[in-house]
A = this chain, B = another copy of it.
Amino acid sequence: MANKADLEKGLELRKKLLGKRASAVTALRELAPDLEEIMNEVLFGRVWTRPGLEPKMRSAITIASLMAMQRLPQLKGHIANGLNMGLSKQEIIEILIHIAFYAGVPTAVNAFQLAKEVFQENEK
Contacts and interface: CB of A to CB of B under 8 A. Distances in A.
B73 A110 contact: yes
A60 B62 contact: no
Contact of A98 (B47, B69, B101): B47
Contact of A52 (B63, B64, B93, B119): B93
Interface string A1-26: 11101100000000000000000110
Given A5-B1, A103-B65, A109-B24, A93 B32 contact: yes
Contacts of A38: 42, 46-47
Interface of A: 1-3, 5-6, 24-25, 27-28, 30-32, 34-35, 38-39, 42-43, 46-48, 50, 52-53, 57-58, 60-71, 73-74, 90-91, 93-110, 112-113, 115-116, 119
